[in-house]
Amino acid sequence: MWPVRNDAAFWEFAGGFRCDGTGRAISTGPVTDMDAVGADYVIRNGDLVSHTSHRHEPPVTAEPIAVIHEDNDYLIVNKPAGVPVHPAGRYNFNSVVEILKSERGAHFMPRPCHRLDRLTSGILCFGKTAQAATDLSRQIQARMVRKEYVARVIGHFPDGEVVCDQPLLQISPRLGLNRVRANGKFARTVFKRLAYYPPASSDVDGGPEQRPKTPEEAADEEQRPWTSKKGYSIVRCLPLTGRTHQIRVHLQFLGYPIQNDPIYANQRVWGFDLGCNDDGTTHTDEDIMSRLEKMGKEEVADAVAYHEEMVDLYHKRRAEKLSGELCKTCDTPLYTDPGDQELSLFLHSLRYEDSGAPTCAADQWIISFTHDCRRLAQTKNIDALLRPSRVNLKTLLEYNPPSPTHPAPRIHIADLERALDVNSAGSGAAPHPLAELITALVDKAGTANVVERLALFLPVQRVVAWLAQPTRESYNALVLNYAPRPSQLTVPHPQWVDFVLQGPLRDAIIERQDVYATEEFQNIYANSLRLLNWPGRPVDAINMDPTTGEVWLNDTFAAHALRIENWRMHETFVRRYPELRGFVELTES
């Protein structure tokens, strides 16, 4: 073995990086063979050389992480603004996960159930076990949890509910930039103004005359961003999908960005309109990214240092700056402490409300199925599962109801993958997994007519596609009557309610979940459904391949089944629930 000096070995294993502190690290102990040695020490066989890494981590607030609720499965905390959820980028120990582990011991492993931006404060849910975290994550993805935020935005937000459903596209993950784009992912947010506060000026709001401002206060106000002179509104935000920066970008698009948003309310980046009705024509992606780069941040979403060119004089005086001092250990330039505007965003996660445990067995089927579809969609095109043009429904004709000794089978993700591979090949020979889901939803007792079982495949297929992939395409495929009602989008409810055909009836169930969100109701509803005005027999609704045994719906029957006026309820339903008579149409006999 050729002799190797200690400093040369350190340089080699550091990836060719050498700094002025290398020799000092060797001589003072961080690089050592049990004891400190000199840089000219020749490494021998059997020597153990270790190095204690020295890194600078951005500071975060010292505000404690308050526990809101804790039980055997979950820990719910109030996340302070400016603290990332988990280690990322330059943040490691200054993250919620690592702070909790430090406070409770290394054995404690909090598992985040959802995302929350570093600058956003408020409700953050952790699972104490992997299973608990998975269960809650699935409910959030299935929109069984109602999320509510409050934001402070620039200007006088309109009255009433404002819905923004502009699709969002991630432009630059490194810069944390997202924009409204027609080819982006479907996103929908419901906003409502809670209060408006005009500018604090007697000539604007008609308030009492204020004391004269000092010269310093007058100069300070003159240097403030022009946006502060429009007043601000407090707005409730209900994100119905979970896209990155969804609330922030939708508010910007509407013309009321969050008041201290360092990206989407930055006049230097977006101009005087701050990106209102942004469609990428006035400011190209390259223009925006170039301006963000000039902020002097390697990663706008996570870094904390504001560059001199980024903001106006008001914020320059308050931004984090180089202090002119160097770290005594590694000679890294040191920054001053960041200001409040760099550690917070006027966006608070106020409330997460779930609909409780699943109210029937079908609920868990739906949640598991849509969750597995989402997992598959990350690596595969799952149109053959969600939007197939020809589906083998043989199992709907041969269905045997489950019994205590032969329960209905659980569809595993491996089953979906096999069905996807076969159906993607174009043969359509594999029975479609949705057939099992339909029987769990509408025919657990095996009493429904064959025609109803076949006809329900089409609306169920479209609703599942929407739940698994909430895109503009899947939303438009729902047809008017099957589209989500406002109550479905804003109130937590059991998943099976989304498959009730009559829109007004879905509203009634969600409004009185204590009465109607039960397994009994779901069974009576399913067994009371009737498809009318189909003149033929079940065999007239299908096409069949005698060679392969495939069975699929013919186009005439498919069009008939999708028309809501062809569906009725048997009188059995209103005998049990007479108060719902006005929400459904009955059969004549």
**3-state DSSP helix/strand/coil percent for the chain, to nearest 5?**
35, 20, 45
Nearest CA to 378 among 426, 430, 413, 428?
413
117 as an active site residue: the answer is yes
Block residue for tokens 């408020």: 122
Of the candidates 117, 261, 278, 372, the residue annotated as catalytic is 117
DSSP bridge pairs for 51:
31
Radius of gyration of the chain (CA): 30
Is residue 176 a contact partner of residue 301, using CB atoms and an 8 Å limit?
yes
Q: How far apart are CA 260 and CA 245, in angstroms?
A: 14
Nearest CA to 181 among 266, 272, 271, 285?
285
Q: Which residues contact 282 (CB under 8 A, 6 or more apart)?
A: 271, 273
Block residue for tokens 């009321």: 256
Q: Which residues contact 10 (CB under 8 A, 6 or more apart)?
A: 22, 25, 26, 31, 49, 51
**3-class SS string, 143-209:** CCEEEEEEEEEECCCCCCEEEECCCEEEEECCCCEEEECCCCECCCEEEEEEEEECCCCHHHHCCCC
DSSP bridge pairs for 347:
151
Angle at 263 between CA 260 and CA 268, to 5 degrees: 90
Q: Which residues contact 579 (CB under 8 A, 6 or more apart)?
A: none
What are 286's two structure tokens? Answer: 């390259």
Q: How far apart are CA 416 and CA 427, in angstroms?
A: 16
- 320 sits in which H/E element: none
Q: How far apart are CA 466 and CA 460, in angstroms?
A: 10
Q: How far apart are CA 260 and CA 247, in angstroms?
A: 14
What are 112's two structure tokens? Answer: 């985040």
Active site residues: 117
